[in-house]
Amino acid sequence: MREGALAILEEIFVIRKEDGLLMGHFSLNDVSHPDMIAGMLTGIKSFIEHAFEKTSQELETLEYESYTILIFNFKTFYFAAVEKGPIKAEFKEKLQNSIFAFCEKNDVITDQSLNKAVIDSLSLELKEHFYGFNQLDK
């Protein structure tokens, strides 16, 4: 990687903890089957957390070659953000602040039935909030 390369937010998922169902998704690359990815992330997350028997701790990071998945846990749901490139503390803080701002502005309701309309609505809110996140001036 070249010196000074920046991390790029590629995708962001909102996933219900209870059952691993996708609640919303935004991608720069139109990933296929985001609901399958949500289920796999939940399975990996659950396996690791149970394998180490740390009930008070939750998985926060997964790495795969040049990709990093940062996980931001809330009580009934979590965000999984897929980044490409080296992650610096400033990027992680900017992302965390943006996720908190999203949660303050939008209702993430986990106790409702998930259907296409609900998922599409939250996905649109994610797109509106995170589109342009990678621009330097933000």
Instruction: Identify the H or E element spanning 69.
Output: strand 67-73
pLDDT of 111 > 70? The answer is yes
In a domain, 38, yes or no: yes
Burial class (CB in 10 A: 0-12, 13-18, 19+), 104: exposed
- Name the least confident of 4-8, 41-45, 60-64, 96-100: 4-8
Residue 137 lies in a domain: no
State which amino acid sits at residue 1: M
Residue 2 lies in a domain: no
Q: Is residue 103 part of a domain?
A: yes
Nearest to 70 by CA among 43, 51, 47, 89: 89
Does 17 reside within a domain? Answer: yes
Question: Helices in the chain by DSSP H: which ranges?
Answer: 34-51, 89-105, 116-130
Residue 51 included in any domain: yes
Amino acid at 125: E
Question: pTM (2 decimals)?
Answer: 0.88
Over residues 81-94, the pLDDT tens digits come to 999 999 899 999 99
Task: Report if residue 138 sits inside a domain.
Answer: no
Residue 24 within a domain: yes
Contact, 91 vs 7, CB < 8 A?
Answer: yes
C-alpha angle 4-88-35 in degrees, rounded to nearest 5: 110
Structural domain count of the chain:
1
Confidence class of residue 136 from pLDDT cuts 50, 70 and 90?
low
Domain with 115 in it: what CATH number?
3.30.450.70
DSSP classification of residue 110: -
Q: Which domain holds residue 112?
A: 8-130
Q: Do the Cβ atoms of 130 and 9 come closer than 8 Å? A: yes
Residues in the chain: 138
